[in-house]
Amino acid sequence: MFQFSQILYLISNIIILTFDFEKMNIIFLLIGFSVFIALIFLVAFFWANKTKQYEDTYTPSVRILFDDEVKEGESIK
């Protein structure tokens, strides 16, 4: 399994070899990609808040306290 730093290293080497960038100039491209990905996550966060994904904060915390109802004819596994 690759670590995130190894993946970034591989991506930067591929970009350097493909587009003939200087090694220090690639950092600007990687920073740009990082900012772009951060903006995508920020938009997803605001979308989740706008659609009220975090509206009910009480129910999940007490749901574990109640047993599931067993219907007739079913056995508890």
Stronger pLDDT, 43 or 12, i.e. the higher one: 43
In angstroms, rounded to a whole number, what is the distance separating the alpha carbons of residues 42 and 53?
15
Angle at 44 between CA 40 and CA 48, to 5 degrees: 170
Stronger pLDDT, 19 or 31, i.e. the higher one: 31
Most confident range (mean pLDDT) of 8-17, 26-35, 58-67 is 26-35
| Structure confidence at residue 21 as a pLDDT band (50, 70, 90) | low
Can you give the residue ranges of every domain in the chain? 4-63
Length of the chain (residues) = 77
Predicted pLDDT at 44: 93
Stronger pLDDT, 44 or 58, i.e. the higher one: 44
